[in-house]
Amino acid sequence: MSNDLITRLTRRLQNIYPDVTMAADVAAEIERLCINFMEGRKNRCGKTAAEQRWSQEDVILITYGNSVQQAGEVPFQTLSRFLKEHVADTLNAVHILPFSPYSSDDGFSVIDYRQVNPDWGNWDDVASIAENFDLMADLVVNHCSRESLWFIDYVANCEPYSDYFIEVDPGTDVSAVTRPRNTPLLTPVHTHRGVRHVWATFSEDQIDLNYANPKVLVEMMNIMLFYVEQGARFIRLDAIAYLWKQIGTNCIHLPQTHEVVKLMHDIVEAVAPEVVLITETNVPVAENLSYFGHSDEAHMVYQFGLPPLVLHALNRGKSDYLADWASKIPPLPEGCTYLNFTASHDGIGVRPVEGILPAHEVENLIDCMHKFGGFVSMKANSDGTESPYEINIALFDACMGTRRGPDHFQVQRFLCSQAIMLAMQGIPAVYIHSLTASPNDLAHVEQTGRTRSINRRIWNREELGVLLGNPVTPQAEVFNRLREMIQIRRRQPAFHPDARQEVIRINSDLFILKRSCGDSGQTVFAISNVTERQMELPLASLGFLVLGMSDLLATGAGPLGETLMMGPYQTVWLTSE
């Protein structure tokens, strides 16, 4: 390894651990991890070079390892067959949500980071998927399961795990701590040293790790490199914002947390430059974007404002707030981009629209989602009150109507949401339950007792196959049309993640993006009608369009005349190239 790397690591670690000797020792340990990693990869090369980290062809599918199941077959093998048969020509990357053994939270309470859930498959099954698709893996950095061997050894006071978790006197004032949940922050644990109260940001089964102990940091860096060795090209840093704790602060986005992300960036740039680090921070926009740093932290951040604002625009039939937000997205730092999504395994967060959507608009949207079968999860505030954290609903059913109630535009409205997401600057990520138009799974909620289960349906492969094979089902209509849109998108240089984006404001009925690629000269105008009304738009009134443009989404349609006709919730991608 170069002297430059060890110097960078040491300086970075001194910002985390002020003790100079400690920082130097930790840097030497991480350097050894990097050397061992590189020796194991001598005969292997990265899939893509760092300077070609992404392109318009990158589209990610988000799925659990068991989202599609078939009797007599382990879920990973079923998933692998589903991917090869249905999306191999459509998507090139797969985010398999946590697939380690777990005790709760559908995988986010990890028991053993280095093992695959035996109910789902093994590392060979993961490798089989990674051979055909770029793999995104979750690094659950903030916490682990209380059933993990780490925590069991902590309870038994066995080294080195006796200091792997954070003990706090229950009398300590922790009211300043930012909470993403309404559960108690401290949970009592009976240990060999008596009852101890440990920090648990998310649940009593998810015990926060103590990064003030450098052994925890080194261990997590080792696990990150292990995932890369297993084929992960994308590393998603789950709940990274809460990593560092300091009593008397809000314990979110602390400087040490940012330094840890920078440390990870330094490591992958040195030993695996094809790897993309993604921070998952479901927080207001400015806080979220801070994880780009100065092009020295995350390569990608989740565009958390997009899901609630797209849903709001389609629910209200007005694009004002969506357009305002999109027009103020700052230019991307070099080597950085966004991960765009409209749905995921979690709910639709409302924190990211704080200061963007007025409180009454959020309340009205939540009320409407309740009528469509959804729920709302709450978070605890420092003053003892609670406020909405996320809406729990399947996006397909969230699009079943507007504030006036359900209507017959559900499929069109839903496809409009996906078309907007696909046109945004960045890399799109499509949730498997968006691809399959999955409705609310209330039976799953009743079974688990968790509202997030409404959007985590487990499909029987045969049942899903019947639905996708019948062209009159909404599942088939969405699946086929969405696949077609993605395939068209992947061929357009103007949709490269680095291509320029501009918001054009005409009226609140339309949401318009102009995407331009300087290298190819291609420009695409992505225009979405967010209303249920038919529109006749003379080109002269639009001003920026010209005769002869064609709609990439309209198969067999002729060039654009003097009037642009748009149906309810229709999207057009117009280009002259």
DSSP conformation letters of 258-272: HHHHHHHHHHHHHH-
- pTM for this prediction: 0.96
| 38 has pLDDT over 90 | yes
Lowest mean pLDDT among 198-207, 479-488, 555-564: 555-564
Q: Is 238 a catalytic residue?
A: yes
**Nearest in space to 219 (alpha carbons), one of 128, 150, 158, 311:** 150
Strand 550-551 versus strand 571-575 pairing type: antiparallel
pLDDT of residue 540: 85
What are the tens digits of pLDDT across the range 61-120? 999 999 999 999 999 999 999 999 999 999 999 999 999 999 999 999 999 999 999 999
Indicate if the pLDDT at residue 392 is higher than 90. yes
Query: What pLDDT is attached to residue 234?
Result: 98
CA-atom Rg of the chain in angstroms: 24
Mean per-residue pLDDT for 140-164? 98
Domains and CATH numbers, the chain: 500-575 (2.60.40.1180)
Does 538 score more than 60 pLDDT?
yes
Give the pLDDT of residue 2: 67
What's the rounded mean pLDDT across residues 46-69?
84
The residue among 456, 431, 432, 429 whose CA lies nearest residue 444 is: 456
Q: Ramachandran region of residue 107, left (φ > 0), alpha (ψ -120 to 50) or beta?
A: left
What integer pLDDT is reported at residue 382 of this predicted model? Answer: 83
Dihedral class, residue 544 (left if φ above 0, else alpha if ψ from -120 to 50, else beta): alpha
Q: How confident is the model at residue 42 (pLDDT cuts 50, 70, 90)?
A: low
Cα 62-555-516 angle, rounded to 5 deg: 65
CA distance 112 to 152: 12
Identify the band that residue 45 occupies on the pLDDT scale cut at 50, 70 and 90.
very low
Confidence of residue 43 (pLDDT cuts 50, 70, 90): very low
State the catalytic residue, choosing from 58, 134, 238, 266. 238
| Confidence (pLDDT) at 51 | 55
Q: What are 252-306's pLDDT values in tens digits?
A: 999 999 999 999 999 999 999 999 999 999 898 899 999 999 999 999 999 999 9
**What is the secondary structure of 438-450 as a DSSP string?**
----HHHHHHHS-
Q: Distance (Å, rounded) from C-alpha 208 to C-alpha 138?
A: 16
Cα(235)–Cα(228) distance, integer angstroms: 8
Q: How confident is the model at residue 53 (pLDDT cuts 50, 70, 90)?
A: confident
**How many Å apart are CA 133 and CA 94, to the nearest integer?**
6
Q: pLDDT tens digits for 210-234?
A: 999 999 999 999 999 999 999 999 9
Count CB neighbours of 442 within 10 A. Answer: 13
Contact 268, 171 (CB under 8 A): no
Phi/psi for 77 (5° steps) reads -70, -40
pLDDT single digits (tens) 329-388: 999 999 999 999 999 999 999 999 999 999 999 999 999 999 999 999 999 898 889 999
Residue bearing tokens 């060039």: 559
Q: What is the mean pLDDT of the chain?
A: 95
